Amino acid sequence: MLRLLYLLSLVFMNNANTSRVIGGNYASPGQFPYQVALQLNGRHHCGGAIISETAILTAAHCTINQSPQSMMVIAGTTDIQDTDGIRIQPSRFINHPQYSSQTNDYDISIIQLSQPLPIGNNIKPINMVDVNDNFDADTIGTLSGWGAIDSNLQLPTKLKYAKIQLWSRDYCNPQNIPGITDRMICAGHPSGQISACQGDSGGPLTVNEKLAGVVSWGFGCGAAGRPAMYTFVGTFRPWIKQTVGV
């Protein structure tokens, strides 16, 4: 089981009687045209974001030790059970060479597709933040994905999204969160009622309509006072540019 999802599952088992619903709203068709779902052996596995017609950005823990032949990318739909989505098999996974499953650092991966996506109203690449971009504390971002919505780890078939705030380095630092690095950012609702959860891994966190983060790891779904950690996309712009030219 993925490291992030394992940690989230432990918290759910410890809080099974709370039935906490992870907040958010259902997305409208075309609202998040960059969003994709990743299926592994026919089951929902992770999320991702379109950065070019042939490249998807996701988390390395979603692709490490997996075979492209066992995964399918679904784009252009808000309901992964509908037939209106485009399904394309990956041709290659490019995990960051410094990714560590022990520390969760450098948790970023590029999925190269076996054929180009048909760009249109429901399928569009998203621009990414720049390497020098910084965000003030409490900046509002948008999280989207098909992750679990309750303590039973129920996975929705329809895409959900939520507004969450970025946390400052005054709290999100190694002293308060062991394991966090400069390549990560924190985001979440202080009450814990809105959060990334199982199945959201690898999915996008956007700020000002640009891809700022990739869902990486955390301490639980909706844990009060505990944000989730996201791989900061800006840090990896040179690597992404060198790898796929965007």
Domains of the chain: 3-27+127-234 (2.40.10.10), 35-125+237-244 (2.40.10.10)
Instruction: Assess whether 189 carries a catalytic annotation.
Output: no
- Quick one: average pLDDT of 19-41? 81
Active site residue 96: no
Please report the pLDDT score of residue 24 as a whole number. 74
224 Cβ contact list (under 8 Å, min separation 6): 190, 191, 192
CA dist., res. 184 & res. 222, Å (int)? 19
The string over 63-94, giving b where at least 16 C-beta atoms fall within 10 Å of a residue's C-beta and e elsewhere, is: bbebebeebbbbbbbbbbeeeebbebebeebb
pLDDT, position 134: 86
pLDDT at 227 over 90: no
**Which of 52, 61, 96, 105 is the catalytic position?**
61
Mean model confidence pLDDT for the chain:
85
Does residue 3 register a pLDDT over 50?
no
The predicted pLDDT at position 136 comes to: 85
What does the pLDDT look like over 155-170, one tens digit per residue? 668 899 989 899 988 8
- On whether the CB atoms of residues 5 and 21 are closer than 8 A, the answer is no
**Catalytic entry in 9, 109, 201, 216:** 201
Cα–Cα distance measured from residue 110 to residue 147, given in angstroms and rounded to the nearest whole number: 20
pLDDT at position 121 over 60:
yes
Whether residue 6 has pLDDT greater than 60: no
Coil, strand or helix: which one is 200? coil
3 secondary structure, DSSP code: H
The residue annotated as part of the active site, out of 45, 107, 109, 195, is 107
Beta bridge partners of 88: 73
Q: Confirm if 138 and 172 have CB atoms less than 8 A apart.
A: no
User: Kind and range of the H or E element at 11?
Assistant: helix 3-14
Q: What is the pLDDT of residue 194?
A: 66
pLDDT, one tens digit per residue, over 37-84 is: 999 999 999 999 999 999 999 999 999 999 999 999 999 999 988 878
